[in-house]
A and B are shown apart, each in its own frame.
Chain A
Amino acid sequence: MAQVNKFSITIATANGSGSQSANLILARTLFRMGVPVGAKNLFPSNIAGLPTWFSIRANEEGFTARQRLSDIAVLMNPATAAEDLNLVRPGGYVFLNSEIKIPESKLRTDIQVIPVPFREIVQPVSDSIKLRKLLANIAYVGVLAELLKMPEEILADAVKHQFGDKVNVIDSNMKALLAGRAWAREKHGQILFPFRTRANACSNEGKIMIDGNTAAGMGLVFGGCTFMAWYPITPSSSLVESFIGFAEEFRVKENGERDFAVVQAEDELASIAMVVGAGWAGARAATATSGPGLSLMAEAAGLSYYAEIPAVIWNVQRVGPSTGLPTRTMQGDLTSAYYLSHGDTKHVVLLPGTPGECFYYAQVAFDLAEILQTLVIVLTDLDIGMNLHVGPRFNYPHDEMSRGKVLNAEELEKAGLFQRYKDVDNDGIPYRTLTGTPHPVAAYFTRGTGHDENGLYSENPEVYKNNMMRLSKKFETAKTMVPKPEFDARSNSRIGIVMFGGSHEAVGEARFMLQKIGIETNCMRIRALPFTSEVEEFFDRNDCVYVVEQNRDAQLLTLIRSEMPQYWQKCHSVLQFDGLPLDAETVVEQILKVDKDLRKHC
């Protein structure tokens, strides 16, 4: 019996060899066939030459998290081919570029290795050696498409989608694809290939396949971003480039006028300072970065917090510490983001888990930054940001943009006085005025030094303390405004799983696996810091809570211990921190290990 719409493919190539288009065509074809699919690119910090792996997982049950092993592998990289054989699970299939010789000792008997003469297959397609090298990639798509029985028409559409209006490119790629297909039909048409696809067995109607960085850039365009300052850093650069691309397409007037400013700054110190300056003067301003950049932004983060200036940082996490693994994923900046800067600081942190949330949270982040007059950090990661995820189409945002408590000249006239840091409404959020407000009481002097309710310099102990307590009160107000967690509860269970960000892909699958062996679980995906009241309720309802996160030091659990100490004793950490996106087996294994220990002690 063939496994229909349920397999994973890993394609091993060298960075810069032009395989990305081929891989995307494969993923898009599956997506358009209605198959739930996820695609993850494991790439090196390098421009060309180092190994790269692209994994596609098709799964009719909707589980698209990374798997440790694949059912099918295409091995195009001589440097890694022998090792890459170990990426395949027993019973799997390997399509090996026939020019690669694998030492006898590395061969496995529990997998099928099919040598494919890619160079020969594409020989008739083009006279250009350079082009043929590229076309070898699309030839493996042809081979796989034939054996997996992928419909010709949908494939051709995906090719067109990939290359747009480049007719010649489409033509040569289609030829190479068909050549690959023909080769597979001729040589292996009779083999019993255990994996196949079926179109329309399920549906991707109303869905899109997109990466989180592209979605975030779109969200910034639709969420009112008027100022972006940034310094290029993997894996956040594509987020800003997405914003620039869409803004230039949809927010430039015919006369060339733009309603947005983008500054590529000299470093991250400058990026965040520009954002704080623009936010202070009233623009919806954001920057995007990753760990090393976030570290550099620490001082200005404290300024934003203490002088109460709206600012937004998108931090697309990569593996740290230090330069770390720049092209691998991690949830490693949670505590540093939350407490970023010296002195007593705490920031609102948004934790989107899908490209959809990246899109919607772009506006939410600006609204919260302006309402709360503070820094908001949006924490995504390389897996959410740069890998492809299938999800519902984004709804057009109809919510008015919130600008917070800003007083204009008329309002100042009515009030008669203005005290920048006074808690007028008992919510900890003061009023502010913007530069150029034509009223004698409008101006104030903003400073990162100690200040009283009028913004005047003060070192008075009581004044300092009262101001800090008001900022705490403001943080309490923030708890009522930030996105609430997402829940999936099973009525009888007292076992909970807590996670954030993109971990839900693996956790969803892990819960399914646990359910099969009789362990029902409740689940909560936290979507923001500070913790909202719903988070506490979840801990109250569960006796044993597994906190799943992608870092070594259990950073989410650290925050739970610090903010809700009454719960931490019922918590157990489930951790993965190898730079790879979380997989379900890891979650299940670690939960079962604790579960076994718990039962022993019962």
Chain B
Amino acid sequence: MELKGQEKNRIGFTKADYAGAKSTLCMGCGHDTITSHITTAFYQAGINPYDVTKLSGIGCSSKTPAYFLSKSHGFNSIHGRMAPIATGVHLANSKQILIGVSGDGDTASIGLGSFAHMLRRNVRMIYVVENNGVYGLTKGQFSATADRGSISKAGVANPYDSIDLCALALEMGCTFVARSFSGDAKQLLPLLNLAIRHNGTAFIDIISPCIAYANHEGSTRSFDAVRAANVALQELGFIQPMTEIKIDYPEGEAKTVELHDGSRVILRKLQSEHHDVTKRDSAMLALTEARARREFLTGLFYWDQNSVPLSESLKLPATPLRDLDNQTRPGVEALDEILARFE
């Protein structure tokens, strides 16, 4: 019998094979919970760590790729540029599964432009924003996702409207848009499992309260405030391929969708009967309505199963570009043909 924690997944790896370095974030940080869910999801999905590339920008959240999958290459880049860096990484080796972890400062402020444009291009990656509405490393300034009127730790009310990254992602053509809460493993694990299989940008906005700078009375992003406002759009379940074991299979009437690798996702509606996960406008409506009700609507908002990633739109070959060099050089006759035009 294998010891607890030593169980092997379908490709023979234990959960320890997906672990990373020790976190240096604050004790109790929501980001660490997400790290643990990412580790679990890749273990559950049976993805070889060698096939994964981790990316991030700058900020507390961007440190976290060091804390999971240490057998995967990682790139903690520069502030706001995770999206274009990921675009280059994806095109140089489109066989890799990319997971990027960014923050609300990194994505919604300094990197907003690049984030929006990456979504238009549909880079194949899991794009996680660990969203807490605050700048942690620089000690408590509001981010662009902080709600108007939310009170900072220093006692100041935020005078600006917030950016809803999910609504923006929908508008920009993102092919997978979801929101979750760091504390909700039941919802987050199926979402991550589904995102791992998605052939395009899978955007997950994860509300992850900052215990140092936004967990006080008056902050709309404290654990208590988020729990109180959290409303799940649907219940989600995920069944790995080649297995009949049910993981958090939701009860009641549900829609099951089989994925290309034989895994299945189960969606059971909890809210609006009108919401259709395959319809962009329906997702937008659900978000708008929830916003008017001051709710944190979570769940899978939109999912395009026929998503075409950038590497395919650009008609790249099966051999990754990074493996090509001398064979790309056209022949002598090609050079002669070109030079003749300048004689």
A residues apposed to B, CB below 8 Å: 32, 161, 207-210, 214, 218, 221-227, 229, 246, 250-253, 256-263, 265-267, 269-271, 273-285, 299-300, 303, 393-394, 396-397, 400-401, 403, 433-440, 442-449, 457
Is there contact, CB below 8 Å, between A282 and B92? yes
What are 14 A-B pairs with beta-carbon distances under 8 A? Answer: A32-B343, A226-B92, A250-B334, A269-B84, A270-B113, A273-B77, A278-B92, A280-B89, A280-B92, A282-B320, A282-B323, A283-B91, A283-B324, A396-B335
Which chain A residue shows the least CB distance to B94? Answer: A261
Known contacts A229-B88, A251-B328, A394-B339; A436 and B93 CB within 8 A of each other = yes
Decide yes or no whether B186 CB sits under 8 A from chain A: no
Q: How far is the CB of A573 from chain B (nearest CB, A)?
A: 36
| A274-B335 contact, Cβ under 8 Å, with A300-B78, A435-B93, A442-B50 | no
Given A222-B335, A278-B92, A281-B89, verify A446-B84 contact (CB < 8 Å). no
Question: Are A275 and B88 closer than 8 Å at their CB atoms?
Answer: yes
B315 CB–A CB distance under 8 Å:
yes
> Cβ of B87 and Cβ of A433 under 8 Å apart?
no
Is residue B213 within 8 Å, beta carbon to beta carbon, of the partner chain?
no
| B88 contact set on A, CB distance < 8 A | 227, 229, 273-281, 283, 285
B291 is an interface residue with CB less than 8 A from chain A: no
Query: CB distance B85 to A277 under 8 Å?
Result: yes
Q: Establish whether residues A259 and B321, one from each chain, have CB atoms under 8 Å apart when the complex forms.
A: yes
Those of B83-102 within 8 Å (CB) of chain A: 83-93, 95-96
Nearest Cβ distance between residue B263 and chain A, in whole angstroms? Answer: 22
B68-76, B216-224, B237-245, B265-273: which lies at the interface: B68-76
* B325 engages A448 (CB within 8 Å): no
Q: Within 8 Å of chain A (Cβ to Cβ): is B292?
A: no
Q: DSSP class of B's interface residues: helix, strand, loop or mixed? A: helix
When distances are taken between beta carbons in the complex, the residues of chain A under 8 Å from B117 are 265-266, 270
Question: Does B155 touch A at the CB level, under 8 Å?
Answer: no
B187, CB-defined interface residue at 8 Å: no
| Nearest residue, chain B, Cβ from A283 | B92
Given that A260-B321, A437-B50 are known contacts, is A250 also in contact with B74, CB under 8 Å in the complex? no
Contact residues in B for A225 (Cβ distance below 8 Å):
328
How far does the Cβ of B76 sit from chain A's closest Cβ, in whole Å?
A: 4
Q: Within 8 Å CB of A253, what residues of B?
A: 317
Cβ–Cβ < 8 Å partners of B124 in chain A = none
The answer to whether B50 and A436 touch across the interface, beta carbons within 8 angstroms, is yes
Within 8 A of A (CB), among B47-72: 48-51, 53, 65-66, 70-72
With most chain B CB atoms within 10 A of its CB, the pick from A251, A253, A256, A261 is A261
User: A434-B322, A435-B53 are known contacts. Are A300 and B92 too (CB-CB below 8 A)?
Assistant: no
> Once bound together, how far apart are the Cα atoms of A253 and B324, in whole Å?
14
For residues 137 through 186 of chain B, which have their beta carbon under 8 Å from a beta carbon of chain A?
Answer: none
Contacts of B339 in A (CB 8 A): 208, 393-394
The verdict on A208 contacting B343 (CB below 8 Å), with A229-B88, A274-B85 known, is yes
Are B321 and A443 in contact, with the CB atoms below 8 A? Answer: no
The answer to whether the Cβ of B338 comes within 8 Å of any Cβ in the partner chain is yes
| Nearest 4 CB-CB pairings of A with B | A277-B88, A282-B322, A278-B88, A281-B92
- In the complex, the chain B residue whose C-beta lies closest to that of A457 is B66
Cβ-defined partner of A258 (8 Å) among B80, B316, B335? B316
Q: Which residues of A have CB within 8 Å of B4? A: none
Chain A nearest CB: distance from B269 CB in Å?
37
Whether the pair A447, B76 counts as a contact (CB closer than 8 A) is: yes
A277 in complex: contacting residue of B49, B86, B320, CB < 8 Å: B86
A580 to B163, CA, bound (A): 48
- Closest Cβ–Cβ distance, residue A405 to chain B (whole Å): 15
B113: chain A residues within 8 A (beta carbon): 266-267, 270
A394 proximity list for chain B (CB < 8 A):
335, 339
B114 contacts chain A at the CB level, 8 A cutoff: yes
A285 touches B92 (CB 8 A): yes
Contact flag A226-B328 (CB < 8 Å), given A442-B50, A445-B66: yes
> In the assembled complex, how far is the CB of residue B302 from the closest CB belonging to chain A, in whole angstroms?
23
B75 touches A446 (CB 8 A): yes
Contact A265 B326 (CB under 8 A): no
- A261-B91, A277-B92, A283-B92 known; A445+B329 contact, CB < 8 A: no
Within the complex, the shortest CB–CB distance from A436 to chain B, in Å, comes to 6
Most chain A C-beta atoms within 10 Å of own C-beta, residue among B70, B315, B339, B343: B343
Is the CB–CB distance between A443 and B322 below 8 Å?
no
Measured CB to CB, the closest approach of chain A to B32, in angstroms, equals 17
Inter-chain CA distance A278–B48, complex, in Å, is: 22
| Apart from A270-B83, A300-B78: 6 A-B pairs, beta carbons within 8 A | A224-B324, A267-B113, A274-B91, A279-B92, A282-B320, A435-B53
Q: Which residue of B lies closest to A438 (CB)?
A: B50
Whether, in the assembled complex, B121 has its beta carbon less than 8 Å from a beta carbon of chain A, the answer is yes
Tell me whether A448 and B114 are in contact in the complex, defined as CB-CB below 8 angstroms, given that A258-B317, A273-B84 are known contacts. no
Is B81 in the interface zone, CB < 8 Å from A? Answer: yes
The reply to whether the CB of B5 lies closer than 8 angstroms to some CB of chain A is: no
Q: Is B27 among interface residues, defined by CB-CB distance under 8 A?
A: no
Please give, as numbers and ranges, the residues of chain B lying within 8 Å of A246 by CB-CB distance.
338
Q: Give the residue name and chain of the B residue nearest to A258 (CB).
A: B315
Assuming the contacts A226-B321, A283-B321, asked whether A278 and B315 have C-beta atoms less than 8 A apart, the reply is no
Q: Are A269 and B81 in contact (CB under 8 A)?
A: yes
Evaluate contact between A227 and B91: CB separation under 8 angstroms: yes
Question: Are the C-beta atoms of B51 and A436 separated by less than 8 Å?
Answer: yes
The residue on B at minimum CB distance from A224 is B325
Q: Is B330 an interface residue (CB 8 A)?
A: yes
Inter-chain contacts of A273 with B (CB < 8 A): 77-78, 81, 83-85, 87-88, 114
- Complex: chain A residue closest to B53, CB-CB: A435
Nearest B residue to A221, CB-CB: B330
Q: Once the chains are docked, how many angstroms separate the CA of A266 from the CA of B320?
A: 24
B77 partner residues in chain A, CB cutoff 8 A: 273, 276-277, 303, 446, 448
Looking at the complex, which one of B51, B73, B116 makes contact with A433 (CB distance below 8 Å)?
A: B73
Q: Known: A226-B324, A273-B77, A278-B88. Is A261-B314 also a contact (CB below 8 A)?
A: yes
A224–B330 alpha-carbon span in the complex (Å): 10
Proximity string of chain B (301-327) to chain A, C-beta cutoff 8 Å, 1 when within and 0 when not: 000000000110011110011111111
The one of B73, B317, B328, B335 in contact with A443, judged by C-beta atoms closer than 8 angstroms, is B73
- Contact flag A224-B114 (CB < 8 Å), given A257-B317, A442-B50: no
* Nearest A residue to B86, CB-CB: A277
B93 and A281: CB pair below 8 A? yes
* C-alpha gap A267/B110 in the complex (Å): 13
Contacts of A259 in B (CB 8 A): 316-317, 321, 324, 327-328
Q: In the complex, what residues of B have CB within 8 A of residue A252's CB?
A: 315
User: Does B315 lie within 8 Å of A277, measured CB to CB?
Assistant: no
Bound CA–CA A445/B74 (angstroms):
5
Q: How far is the CB of A283 from chain B (nearest CB, A)?
A: 4
CB atoms of A280 and B75 under 8 A apart: yes
User: By the criterion CB–CB under 8 Å, are A265 and B84 in contact?
Assistant: yes
Q: Which residues of B contact A262 (CB under 8 A)?
A: 314
Decide: A300 and B325 in contact? CB cutoff 8 A. no
Residue of B70, B90, B342 with most chain A CB atoms under a 10 A cut-off: B342
Residue of A nearest to B85 (CB): A277
